[in-house]
Amino acid sequence: MNKIFLSQIKKIKKDSIRCSNTKKKSLNESFNIDTENIFFDYSRNIIDSKTVKNLTKLAELIDVKNNFKKLCSGEEVNLSEKRQALHPAMRETFHNLSKDTQNEIKKHKSLLKKISNEVNSGKRKSFTEKKFTDVVSIGTGGSYYGIKMIYESLKNYSAKNINLHFISNLDSTESNDILLNLKQDTTLFIVVSKSFKTVETLENAKIVKKWLLKNSSNKDVMKNFLAVTENHSSAIKFGIKEDCVIKIWDWIGGRYSLWTGVSIGLIIALGFNNFSKFLEGAYKGDKHFFQRKYEKNIPVIMALLSFYYTRFFKAQTHLVLPYNYRLRFLKEHLQQLEMESNGKSVDRNGNELTHISGNIIWGATGNCSQHSFYQLLHQGKTFIPSDFIISSKTDSGSQDNHDKLFSNYLSHIEILNKGFTKEEALDLYEKKFSDLGLNKKLVVKNLQLSGNKPTNAFLLKDMSPETLGVLLSFYEHKTYVLGLLANVNSFDQWAVEIGKIKANDIYKNIKNSKKNNKKSKNSLIKKYLS
């Protein structure tokens, strides 16, 4: 990092000390950002106006917008793999991108529309010439988490005639359980693997193929398959017809691929029009990120606050608390997005990092979590910044329930901010506990909460495809800005590759031990085989 950046870091460090020692003030109403789809309130953070000014100066120093422009123009931003990172182009966010690439993307979208319409209309039939009633997406990592999350979030918009299922785990228990409830002649299987070498995906695809072949010839059953891959030839070798292979490019990484044909199962389930609205929402998020000033830019503020707490408050985790049931799988997607992107030990030039580049992302649905880990959140000594997320509208039909849900959402945000004083604790004791014969001193002490625990409050307009698209694009851009701040490559994942190679070596060791009746030198393998 250059001297100007380091000098700015010193200023922010002083801000963190000053704000930590300042008595609580009334909320700064300027610390909120309103958009058409999302209201973002960050007024309950350990900051003041000076802190925000100094933090946004960092965004200027790392030149966030110009770097994003480079990404959208197709520059090689994934340096270690010598690749572009063009996922925003799928929602038509590009800057001086070649016409050839733009045309490729348009053709890709047209194909997705064609396939989804054919399946939904019954034009594309199974090997028994029946209409598909179920679709199974076989994938893992970026070919699973985001798609599963979107489907569950937008289930209210899904087609009534199509049921979407997922197989991702190498444990064949999952695939066996799902296949038990499916009919061979009305189920479409989608094999999603960029390389068409992903062990989990290929093994599950083999199980499915074997299951289908019980009642039909190879030639017939392959009508029940689609593939989404960069490795066209391997998909065809597996038996999938050439016109059933959807191309994915090397310039879109797994965790950024939910905007592409990787989501074809989702597109079929939701309908192409709803998926288009989802992309339009993400485009709105991109415009906000690129056009808004840093101090009124939601993803930039999200990233700067996260950096602030990691660097100066030694935060190692970040908590995500969606209060909408439909958003219950959001944390899994964000875990992969942020932790795989920025959990690095070296910078973009290969130099060892001297600072933490990424946090542990965790969480659960808010209302249920109030009865599990909120005790630690409120009273524990661990420093945990949090995102609270809820929609203004519900699609459940019970607005009164939703009003109660919102009341719970806001109550904990307020308590985390303000705490619970000794005076308040004494008053509560007298009103609720004085007749129970309890130790007054001990109860009052336990009722006191320190507060000053940082939260970001997201209020979504609704749970529509468009709003979800905006929200996910914001988290993508937050991740990107954090990568720039930490000076890491947010688009590679070499540790994941090492894990795959090591697992293959161990598998060979196991097979060799079984074949030659030899005892492995590894104690765990020895016990596993005993």
How far is the CA of 263 from the CAs of 77, 86, 231, 478, 523, in angstroms?
24, 16, 17, 22, 42
Q: Which of 87, 200, 338, 340 is catalytic?
A: 340
Cβ–Cβ < 8 Å for 170, 202: no
Token pair recorded at residue 480: 């990107």
- Give the C-alpha separation, 336 to 349, whole Å: 23
Distance CA 89, CA 73 (A): 9
Cα(96)–Cα(478) distance, integer angstroms: 23
Angle made by CA atoms 76, 77, 82, in degrees to the nearest 5? 55
> Mapping DSSP to helix (H, G, I), strand (E, B) and coil, where does residue 186 land?
helix
Q: Which two tokens stand for residue 195?
A: 């390389």
Query: Using CA atoms, how far apart are residues 229 and 214, in angstroms rounded to an integer?
Result: 26
Q: Which residues contact 216 (CB under 8 A, 6 or more apart)?
A: 127, 128, 184
Catalytic-role residue among 219, 237, 440, 500: 500
The DSSP code for 166 is E
Report the C-alpha gap between 185 and 223 in whole angstroms.
Answer: 10
Q: Which two tokens stand for residue 45?
A: 């953070």
Is-catalytic flag, 500? yes
3-class SS string, 295-321: HHCHHHHHHHHHHHHHHHCCCCEEEEE
69 is catalytic: no
Of 341, 451, 308, the C-alpha closest to 11 is 308
Q: Are strands 455-460 and 38-41 parallel, antiparallel or unpaired?
A: antiparallel
Q: What span, in angstroms and rounded, lies between the C-alpha atoms of 236 and 516?
A: 35
| Neighbour count for residue 474 (Cβ, 10 Å) | 26
Strand arrangement of the beta sheet that strand 386-391 belongs to: 32-34, 38-41, 455-460, 386-391, 317-322, 360-363
Active-site residue, selected from the candidate residues 3, 23, 314, 371: 371
Please choose, from the candidates 233, 336, 279, the residue with its C-alpha nearest in 3D space to the C-alpha of residue 108.
279
**Residue 288 to residue 89: CA distance in whole angstroms:** 15
CB atoms near residue 232 (< 10 Å): 15
Tell me 487's DSSP state: T
Give the residue carrying structure tokens 């609580």: 24
293 is catalytic: no
Q: Which of 505, 22, 451, 217 is nearest to 209 (CA)?
A: 217
Helices (H), 214-263: 218-221, 232-238
Positions marked catalytic: 340, 371, 500
